[in-house]
Amino acid sequence: MSHHNRTHTLQSVAPSSAAAVGIDGLTIQSMLHEGRNKPSNNCTLTQTDISAMEIEWRNIDYCLIDEISMVGCYMLARLHRITTIAKHTEPTTPFGGINMIFLGDFVQYPPVLDRPLYSNIVLTNDTLANTLIGRALWLQVNKVFFLTEQMRNKDPLFMAMQARLRIGQCTDDDYDMLCKRVVSPDNDAKSLRESPWNVAPILVFRNE
């Protein structure tokens, strides 16, 4: 976008603050204009809300959503509703005609208190209507690209272990490899004060 001087037409969003910061974007929740004191099932928007949305989305032609595994059907339906209002389009036009770009890995964290986009949903009551809309929107995705090159790691043995760990199929050899990273006088990692371990990520089970 920057190469074509079109960055002003792209809005990057994510379901969490941490993910939004990583892409220099905003949280989806902030774009929905649903404050902490406004319940998500309250569909009433004030004229102030609508005016703000019109300004926010006026020049936006592309919307990038990162960490899509954490976005549920209901949240996607709400984002669709907001964009159609902001763009003054019919509800049948997905996301008000904005080109949507979804990034993520569905093996990672699922949405909280929402149904994953890959859910099979049977409409049994009115409360599931928006969830069904979100699922229908997801089924309209028409281009999929699989990114297969690992950019953070070049060690083939470690990459193979990560691939097995991702789907829960680790071997005894994988376990032995990970145990070598446990700080111990008998392991390669003897002290966290020595290089390269003094700058290595540390996994802990308790925030102390």
pLDDT score of 29? 92
Segment 86-120, tens digit of pLDDT: 999 999 999 999 999 999 999 889 999 999 999 88
Mean pLDDT, rounded, for 17-21: 92
Segment 53-75, tens digit of pLDDT: 999 999 999 999 999 999 999 99
Q: Is the peptide bond before 94 cis (omega within 30 degrees of 0)?
A: no
Give the chain's mean pLDDT: 87
Q: How confident is the model at residue 43 (pLDDT cuts 50, 70, 90)?
A: low
Is residue 134 within 8 A of residue 75, CB to CB? The reply is yes
* One domain for residues 161 and 128: no
Distance CA 57, CA 161 (A): 43
Residue closest to 101 by CA, chosen among 59, 145, 150: 145
Domain that includes residue 195, residue range: 156-199
State yes or no: pLDDT of 39 exceeds 70.
Answer: no
Say which residues have a Cβ less than 8 Å from residue 75's Cβ, sequence separation at least 6: 15, 28, 111, 114, 134
Mean pLDDT, rounded, for 38-45: 59
The pTM is what? 0.78
* One domain for residues 132 and 32: yes
170 lies in some domain: yes
* One domain for residues 51 and 87: yes
> What are the C-alpha distances in Å from 196 to residues 89, 102, 154, 199, 201?
56, 36, 17, 6, 10
* One domain for residues 127 and 162: no
Is residue 94 within 8 A of residue 140, CB to CB? The reply is yes
Spatial strand order in the sheet of 99-102: 26-27, 10-14, 62-65, 99-102
168 lies in some domain: yes
Segment 115-159, tens digit of pLDDT: 999 988 776 665 678 889 999 999 999 999 998 888 888 889 999
* One domain for residues 99 and 183: no
